[in-house]
Amino acid sequence: MTIASAATATPDKDWWRGAVIYQIYPRSFQDSNGDGIGDLKGITARLPHISALGADGIWISPFFPSPMKDFGYDVSNYTDVDPMFGSLSDFDSLIAEAHRLGLKVMIDLVMSHSSDQHAWFVESRSSRFNPKSDWYVWADARPDGTPPNNWLSIFGGSAWAWDPTRMQYYMHNFLTSQPDLNLHNAEVQDALLDMTRFWLKHGVDGFRLDTINFYFHDRELRDNPALDPSRRNASTAPAVNPYNFQEHIYDKNRPENLEFLRRFRAVLDEFPAIAAVGEVGDSQRGLEIVGEYTSGDDKMQMCYAFEFLAPDPLTPARVREVQDAFSVAAPDGWACWAFSNHDVVRHVSRWGQDVADREAFARIMASILLTQRGSVCIYQGEELGLTEADIAYADLQDPYGIQFWPEFKGRDGCRTPMVWDAQALQAGFSTAEKTWLPIPVEHQLKAVGAQYGDPASVLEHYRRFLAFRRQHPVFAKGDILFLPEDGNVLRYKRQYGNETLLCLFNMSPEDAVTDLPAGDWEALAGHGFDSGLEDRRLHLPAWGAFFARHA
């Protein structure tokens, strides 16, 4: 083998830095067997869509065996595939096809908790003295029979559930059917790391780590302090949830997690070019924790917090505020940004509820996201400009929405099936008479087939802009330097090596005029936006953008 060919065969360990990852919610992507629920074979069949879009890889939400109380985030077997989604052989085929298309594959690991039907928990709850008795978080009641402390569940109520067999409480940060694993126990850590190796041996390229800051709890089970009302917000939990009334310093965000993340990273490093992104769920310390978890080269490659997934309107000031806060909290870290995912209201609805031209709004939001410093996650259907679906109470599946209806309608509105063909039954998602969640008529009109090839469509804008991003490595790897805001115009430079690009965005429904910064700028094409430039005065139409290279 020549030196050149050997170098070509060497995996790029830095592939994740600036990568665009397409998130797939498997229940809702493509049904291959007509049962109204998406599956692995369906994902495999639709991978060409993601490849043609221009993404670098995929993240697949959980597909492991599960009673589906929380739709896969309650795992009953970490090393298999739920028959609803197919088989391990189907997963291996998916991996092979993704790699053939040049796509990396990341899967969702849920290590903070399991299902109460997992064999580990069944054994743990059987007595106080079995080999796995300490694999979950158990505690005695207070003298009056109440839970051991004031910790709350994100899904409502106490974070403790009574077990009559052990005559003890067990901890659950989420549903009562999702008991928390005790990662203070080294055997639990070893089992989770062995599970990680299992999937790496099946060829995955990385992981998204669910609720990464929930892995450890305070050994002393101290009460959380109350949170000052002025500091409450609804990014981790909906505003109607009393979870927001506490400062969560003892039930999560524990310092012991750092050493476990080092152990986890060491396992990743046993394999070539593996990466992980952690989900940090905390309203007060999110970016600070991201900084801790991504510092150095011995923990996570990247994490994301909820700043761009929160209800706060996206404005030029907000974009700068988030990036500046990240640079302070994690100067050596790397972020993975998303505007939408399977847990939040789709951003076209969340931020654009009153916008008349939703398609133009979707195009400008995509362009802002794809030019941020960091890696990017795109959520399925985002590339079509899908809005949040309005799901009737009778059709709700999400226990979160059922618990807090009608003030909070849950997460079903962003989880409805993908729309492929407006003319086909169930928009091409399934041949079933009924799908697990209904498909809104307004979504069918935005199906892939209806937008494909239309240069004015949101889909073609995503494809065009992702190609534009690939042409300029500065977007994936470079630094970001914000310029003073000019009304509703967001202004920043991206710099990498000898290249400096100027990015200007009109984040309003009205035309805007702004001045170019000092220097010689050469306007760039290929991104799909038109603007007028006269004597360094730039005329940006509503929801318009301008890009230029420093000459």
Helix residue spans in 335-473 (DSSP H): 347-350, 358-369, 399-404, 441-444, 448-451, 458-471
Question: Which listed residue (187, 270, 390, 395) is catalytic?
Answer: 270
Strand partners, 279: 304
CB 495 within 8 A of CB 481: yes
Q: How far is CA 415 from the centre of its chain?
A: 13
The CA distances from residue 324 to 289, 369, 479, in Å, are: 15, 15, 12
Strand partners, 539: 513, 532
CB 29 within 8 A of CB 42: yes
Cα separation, 156 vs 458, whole angstroms: 37
Question: Which listed residue (205, 210, 279, 388) is catalytic?
Answer: 210
Cα separation, 137 vs 140, whole angstroms: 11
Q: Residue 287 CB: number of other CB atoms within 10 A? A: 24
Residue 270 falls in the annotated catalytic set = yes
The H-or-E segment that residue 550 falls in is strand 545-550
CB 221 within 8 A of CB 242: no
Give me 361's structure tokens.
């709004």
Strand partners, 479: 495
Cα separation, 178 vs 196, whole angstroms: 20
The CA distances from residue 229 to 123, 232, 316, in Å, are: 42, 5, 27
Cα separation, 463 vs 450, whole angstroms: 15
Give me 510's structure tokens.
């009205």
Q: Which residues participate in catalysis according to the annotation?
A: 210, 270
